[in-house]
Structure 1
Amino acid sequence: MASKLLGRLSAIVATCVALPLAFAGVANAHGYTTNVPSRAYLCKTGAVSNCGPIQWEPQSVEGPKGFPGGGPANGRICAGGLGQFAQLDDPRGGSWPAKKVTSGGNLTFSWTLTAAHATTSFRYFITRNGWNPSAPLTRAQLDPAPFYTVNFNGARPGSTVTHTGRLPAKSGRHLILAVWDIADTGNAFYQCGDVTF
């Protein structure tokens, strides 16, 4: 009887030790884009209202990695598949504030990381010509490959990350999807930013 009780106690202790370690990789990495200003960042700063809890957690748009083959479901990409951040998937009739950018020009992308993490890459996708800005984002609305990728090969970035890449030739309103791929968890961070060429 005593050995059974000791065995159960050991199992409980092992579980209590293992659970925080299992979730440590997910909980300690967070970030959002400030340029292009993401929808999450615009909610944080109050530039956009009626955002729900994302206004306090712009760094928490974390979902499964592997985009575009995996990751959040279509129509839920901007929220990383998280229901509590569904306001980010609402196109608001195409009225999200949009940063003015130059077709084919260079743009500096900036991330604020509230907790850094070993990183595979930062990747940037953009909507196709003729996409519908009044509909939630789907893979079919994006060019299939990222227009810009910055590889980190498992390195841990600092609290601010900037890199400059060339935008594709586009015109009118578009959406840029920034994906921060984490190296040592099954997740990535997703940020949607609206632009006008």
Structure 2
Amino acid sequence: MRKKTKWYAGVLGLTTAGAIVLSSGAASSHGYTDLPISRQKLCANGTVTNCGDIQYEPQSVEGPKGFPAAGPADGQICNGGISRFAQLSAPKAPSGAAWPTTKVTGGQSYTFRWQFTAIHATTDFKYYVTKAGWNQNHNLARSDLNTTPFLTVPYNGQRPSSSTISHTGTLPSGLSGHHVIVAVWTIADTTNAFYSCDDVTF
């Protein structure tokens, strides 16, 4: 199955088309990103320890939809506004060390991947990234982000056809060092969305 991927790149000043690649695979009651690896997945696989409840349910970062106009409050974006997952929004991992990052290259193709444990009717998937010079010393806020998504994948109420889906496209250029990608899966028939924060190094 292939779908058109609509790109919104206001900062880059261009619009392109990308492919959605659907694949089958094992999922570890909802969803999270594992490419780039998300904070909740790092906790679930033991790379980051002392994470609390999120280590047992990385798929459950479900908060209000409508981001960035609505959704989780500033400082709670990465935990979806769920207090028992607050560790995910801290600027450092629970150990006090930096969150591990995935190395990426701006301006080059990258495949984002979601794992699902329950598949929902979907409005879209959107991807946001922090700005150059963002404040890394506090919990992530909207002011740290380019609030125009660099990638939007519309689903128009359809359900993903697999427990694993991938969106392949080009990363924003002009960034360097540590950044956070916020991936948002918006559900069509509820008031919620799922949030994943992925730490990357450009």
CA-to-aligned-CA distance 1:35-74 (integer Å, 9 cap, x gap): 0100000000000011000000100000000000000000
Matches within 5 A, 1:163-178: 163-169=167-173, 170-178=175-183
Provide TM-score, normalisation by structure 1: 0.84
CA-to-aligned-CA distance 1:133-165 (integer Å, 9 cap, x gap): 221100000002000111111110121111102
Q: State which drifts further: 94-103 or 112-121.
A: 94-103
Matches within 5 A, 1:40-189: 40-92=40-92, 95-157=98-160, 158-169=162-173, 170-189=175-194
Identify if the C-alpha distance between structure 1 residues 94 and 104 changes in structure 2 by more than 3 Å, giving closer, same or farther. Answer: farther
In structure 1, give the amino acid aligned to 2:156.
N
Q: Which of 176, 180, 196 is the equivalent residue of 1:191?
A: 196
Q: Which has the larger share of strand?
A: 2
Aligned equivalents of 1:100 and 1:48: distance in 2?
17
CA-to-aligned-CA distance 1:154-184 (integer Å, 9 cap, x gap): 1101211111021101111100000000000
Point out 4+ residue stretches in structure 1 off by more than 6 angstroms.
none
Aligned equivalents of 1:174 and 1:94: distance in 2?
16
Q: SS at the partner of 1:84? A: helix
Of structures 1 and 2, the larger Rg is shown by 1
Aligned equivalents of 2:122 and 2:199: distance in 1?
25
Please list every run of 5 or more consecutive structure 1 residues that lacks an aligned counterpart in the other structure. Answer: 1-28
Please list every run of 5 or more consecutive structure 2 residues that lacks an aligned counterpart in the other structure. Answer: 1-28
* Aligned-residue RMSD, C-alpha: 1.0
Aligned equivalents of 1:54 and 1:94: distance in 2?
18
Provide TM-score, normalisation by structure 2: 0.82
In structure 1, give the amino acid aligned to 2:109.
N
Name which structure has the greater RCO, CA cutoff 8 Å, separation 6+. 2
Aligned equivalents of 2:135 and 2:70: distance in 1?
22
Q: Which has the larger share of helix?
A: 1
Q: State which drifts further: 62-71 or 151-160.
A: 151-160
What is aligned with 2:3? none
Mapped contact 1:36–1:99 kept (Cα < 8 A): yes
